């Protein structure tokens, strides 16, 4: 089974990915953040720098490339966990296009490249994840978690409106546009799988139950 974790920035993807991987004795394919040379520039740039240096477009290309590499590796193994996947990448690019940070031409080039990559995945024996675990929560919870992880370049007040724009449409994108796999939604306002052992076991039980449902559906096909 291949599981991907979907969520807003700061929602707790990595913590859940590691919890799930430890439980199923599998490997985590992490989102490329700490070794990403463009991400700090993206978060700290002025609007003028964003327009002239095209950091949002460069950032999306960086993530697209690293996520494509990760999902190719993950799909050829038995059980793996993706700390965000190539499917969500489009949503981030679209939001930056709507904000005017990525031009129409850049977005068109990006979409062509993404579609090309997804066609390549169709050639693999396993073509897509089995399950997306999506972390949904209030904007207040998201902001609190971003602050707790302490990456200084993420904490500038000017970024709050960007986070809000991402958050505002994320649930709808998952429910209306994501079609690659089944989805399990976890409400992070109510469930704290990092600090609460009972909640941790509850989440793992929810995941096991959903995976069992998916297995039964595949057998019946």
Active site residues: 83
User: Which residues are CB-neighbours of 120 under 8 A, at least 6 positions away?
Assistant: 68, 72
User: Which residues are CB-neighbours of 81 under 8 A, at least 6 positions away?
Assistant: 2, 3, 4, 5, 17, 20, 21, 24, 26, 27, 28, 29
DSSP 47-114: HHHHHHH-HHHHHHHHHHHHHHHHHHHHHTSSSEEEES-HHHHHHHHHHHHHTTSS-HHHHHHHHHHH
SS3 10: coil
């Amino acid at each position: 089974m291949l599981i991907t974790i979907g969520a807003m920035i700061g929602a707790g993807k990595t913590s859940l990915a590691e919890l799930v991987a430890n439980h199923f004795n599998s490997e985590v394919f992490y989102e490329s953040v700490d070794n990403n040379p463009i991400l700090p520039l993206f978060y700290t740039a002025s609007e003028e720098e964003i327009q002239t240096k095209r950091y949002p477009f460069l950032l999306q290309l960086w993530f697209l490339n690293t996520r494509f590499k990760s999902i190719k590796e993950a799909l050829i193994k038995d059980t793996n966990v993706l700390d965000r996947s190539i499917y969500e990448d489009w949503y981030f690019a679209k939001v930056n296009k709507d904000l005017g940070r990525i031009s129409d031409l850049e977005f068109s080039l990006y979409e062509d490249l993404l579609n090309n990559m997804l066609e390549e995945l169709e050639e693999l024996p396993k073509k897509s994840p089995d399950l997306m675990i999506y972390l949904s929560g209030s904007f207040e919870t998201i902001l609190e978690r971003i602050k707790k992880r302490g990456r200084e370049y993420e904490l500038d007040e000017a970024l709050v409106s960007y986070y809000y724009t991402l958050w505002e449409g994320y649930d709808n994108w998952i429910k209306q546009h994501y079609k690659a796999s089944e989805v399990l939604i976890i409400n992070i306002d109510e469930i704290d799988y990092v600090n609460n052992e009972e909640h941790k076991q509850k989440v793992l039980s929810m995941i096991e139950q959903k995976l069992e449902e998916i297995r039964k559906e595949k057998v019946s096909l």
